[in-house]
Amino acid sequence: MALVKQVEVRLLDSIKSGMVEFYTPQASHETMLAQIPASTIDDLFVHHFQTDQLLVVRGSFVLVILQNREYHYIPLSDRQPKVVTIPPGIPHGAINLSQEPCLLVNAVLRHGPTYEKDYRPLRKPFPFDIAKARTLLTELALPVTA
């Protein structure tokens, strides 16, 4: 029986020294800095041979995961440091409803060469629930204007 690939969300471990708090870095083959523009509703993407490990360092957005023909919405913010791990084969997209861009680090784990179709948008099987995304960001007490 094959294991089901799951998206994992976890708080970062940290160590406080004086006034500075140090967070555990993520092991990776490649680290990218990505920016999600303000007022963006992004397409879905899927990676075939990489695991994404996402951490917001400035701003906020809602990560949308498509599994079992259902969207799952994960609000992420620089105010609550969390790492989201997205294994290969799971379609995902982004919604940034704020007037500020969101900056995130992606600590990528490679499982093979980059696949050219990884960065081509997928057709959404049905529209995102923007009201739900807005509600989730509001629950984090984050400004939402779009």
Measured distance CA(16)–CA(37) in Å, rounded: 32
Neighbouring-strand partners of residue 11: 82
Nearest to 36, CA basis, from 139, 123, 135, 133: 133
Catalogue all structural domains in the chain, each as residue range(s) with its CATH number: 8-12+22-139 (2.60.120.10)
**pLDDT for res 1:** 42
Residue 68 has pLDDT above 80, yes or no: yes
Do 83 and 55 contact (CB within 8 A), yes or no? yes
Res. 66 pLDDT band, cuts 50 70 90: very high
Token reading at 44: 């879905």
Question: What percentage of residues in the chain have a pLDDT greater than 90?
Answer: 64
Torsional sign, CA 114, 120, 126, 127: positive
Least confident of 22-31, 43-52, 84-93: 22-31
Q: How confident is the model over 34-38, as a mean pLDDT?
A: 96
